[in-house]
Structures are given as structure tokens and as C-alpha cells.
A = this chain, B = another copy of it.
């Protein structure tokens, strides 16, 4: 597998979310974040039906394949299978991890949202390839259903007991991205700090530099 498809090598994990994209489409957001250096792209749209999701996923599949960047689909395994995405991300409201792994097969990337050490260990046991850990900080309006922030210490705890790569998520921006990496996360998943930015590409590029250790951050 190409290094770029190995979650431990990711730094900037970009998630598209049309609801906060200020009128820009999934495709427009994706084009800008890839120009800005995102290492992986996740399509997330809890409101779209299967038909729209499929059409958008096809567009993003073409784009990410040209950029040689992995495409992850949130929740909908059928959409991931339909466009031959590189993987799926499941949260607590989605299909169980073991079931997702069974349908997806061994060759695809499976990401799992976890809040605690116990959940992280269980996800590892059930076949996760990486852990989405969070919400680290208070998120800004992207997930109404997100729980209380778990804080940076939780990243460090999970780092100590799990071998899986950690993608931290929740309220991460240029101000705090460096701390997230220092706490032990391999990557940061970013939605609003990129998708809602005036200049998506520039916001992504700055975050990528901070997460890669090439810039200190504010």
C-alpha cells in the first residue's frame, strides 16, 4: 500500500461538510483542500440521499484518484463500495465496527470514532485501521450531536495503550493544532476551520504546515 494510504502517515484529514461551506459544494471544498495539501479526504453528508451521495462521491473519487489521496466515506458503506472509495468511517450512530469490517473486506481502510480508552481498545480488536478521537475541543457548530470535549489528555491516554494511528477531531484549528500533535495524535481531522474559511486552500495549507511541524502555529 502506498504510504499515502497508510493512516499513520496522515497529518491533515479534511472533511467536507456542505452545511457550513457557505454555498460552496463538496467538490469545490475538496478541490481547495487538496490544493492546500490535505492527506486524506472524507465525504460527510448526513442529509443527502443515496443518489446525491453517489454522484458527489463519484466526483470526489475522480479528484482524489488524480491527486493520489485516499477517499473515505462517512457511514455509508454502500456508497463507499459503489465508488470504490479507499475506506469508511463509522461513528456510534452508524453500523457496528465488526459488521462494517465484514462488509468492507480486509483491503479497505476502516476508521472508528472513539471517546474513551475502552472504546479505542474495542475498535482495535474489532478491526479498525485508525481511531477518530474526540471531540478534543469545543466544536463550532458542525456536530450538534458531539459530546463533551475529551481534551488533549485523552489523546495521550489512548496513545499510550493503543497501537492504531489517532486522528484527533473536534474544534481543531491553527491555534491548537500543534498541541494536538504533541499530545500524540498522528493527524487532525478538520471541518469548520477549513470548510468555513474565506480561503479554504490557504487555511488547509497553513494547517498542514503546522501539523507537519514546518510551522509553529499561533
Residues of A within 8 A of B (CB): 46, 49-52, 54, 75-79, 81-82, 90, 92-96, 99, 102-103
Task: Name A54's contact: one of B54, B76, B79, B95 (CB within 8 Å).
Answer: B95
Contact A76 B93 (CB under 8 A): no
Which residues of B lie under 8 Å from residue A46 when comparing CB positions?
A: 49
Structural contact, A75 and B95, CB atoms closer than 8 A: no
What residues of chain B lie closer than 8 Å to A75, measured between beta carbons?
49-50
In the docked arrangement, what's the CA distance between A93 and B76, Å? 15
The docked-state distance in angstroms from the alpha carbon of A82 to that of B81 is 13
Closest residue of chain B to A102 (Cβ to Cβ) is B82
| Minimum-distance CB pairs A-B, first 8 | A77-B78, A49-B93, A78-B78, A50-B94, A50-B95, A51-B93, A82-B99, A81-B103
B103 touches A82 (CB 8 A): yes
In the bound complex, CA of A82 to CA of B49 (Å):
19
Contacts of A77 in B (CB 8 A): 50, 78, 81-82
Which chain B residues lie closer than 8 Å to A93 at the CB level? 49-52
> Are B94 and A49 in contact (CB-based, < 8 A)?
yes
* A and B contact pairs by CB, cutoff 8 A, 23 listed: A46-B49, A49-B94, A50-B75, A50-B93, A50-B94, A50-B95, A51-B92, A51-B93, A51-B94, A51-B95, A54-B95, A54-B99, A76-B76, A77-B81, A77-B82, A78-B78, A78-B81, A78-B95, A78-B103, A79-B95, A81-B103, A82-B99, A82-B103
Residues of B within 8 A of A90 (CB): 50
A76 B103 Cβ-Cβ under 8 A:
no
When distances are taken between beta carbons in the complex, the residues of chain B under 8 Å from A52 are 93
Give the shortest distance, in Å, between A114 (CB) and chain B (any CB).
15
A93 vs B90: C-alpha distance when bound (angstroms) = 23
- Minimum CB–CB distance from A31 to chain B (whole Å) comes to 24
Let me know if B49 and A96 touch, CB within 8 A.
no
Q: From A77, which residue of chain B is reached at the shortest CB distance?
A: B78
Least distance between A24 CB and chain B CB atoms (Å)? 23
